A = this chain, B = another copy of it.
Amino acid sequence: MVRSQAGETLTIGKLAAAAGVGVETVRFYQRNGLLAVPSRRSGIRHYGESELRRLRFIKQAQAASFTLAEIAELLELDAGEDREGARTLAKSRIEASNKKIAELERARDSLKRLARQCGEGSTGPCPILSAFEAKKPRT
């Protein structure tokens, strides 16, 4: 039964290439339950749109600083249609993202200070360590 347009049957190599990861990475995700291992019609497994979407999702989520464990959790919530759980997880992640963003902004400002103090002509101290002592406790 040739169900569905065969246009969607990728081998693991094609799938990996399409998602911009390595074959080994796909296999790694399979081992870790992030990606289903499709059954095979013969010796070789075939993948479709959904796996590709999933892979891309994983990449996006990683870029968002999710760990693979968290991503797995998200995917499970999705599979289980657990709206409640998904919302909760999303909210806690939003919190975490905000924290991380604030942290990075603070750090970036320290770096800016550093770059300025070590500026072109100047001959002052350029104190890398103290550049990070950001908020002097001017209690």
Contact = CB atoms under 8 A, between A and B. Distances in A.
Number of copies of chain A assembled together:
2
Interface stretch (A3-11, A25-33, A36-44, A111-119): A111-119
Chain A interface main SS type: helix
Contact of A86 (B77, B105, B126): B126
A60 interface: yes
Contact of A94 (B65, B81, B84, B111): B111
A104 B108 CA distance: 14
Contact of A107 (B63, B84, B119): B63
A132 B86 contact: no
The 10 closest A-B pairs by CB, nearest first: A64-B107, A78-B128, A97-B108, A60-B132, A90-B115, A87-B118, A83-B118, A90-B114, A90-B111, A83-B126
Interface of A: 53-54, 56-57, 60-61, 63-66, 74-75, 77-78, 81, 83-84, 86-87, 90-91, 93-94, 97-98, 100-101, 103-108, 110-112, 114-115, 118-119, 122, 125-129, 132-134
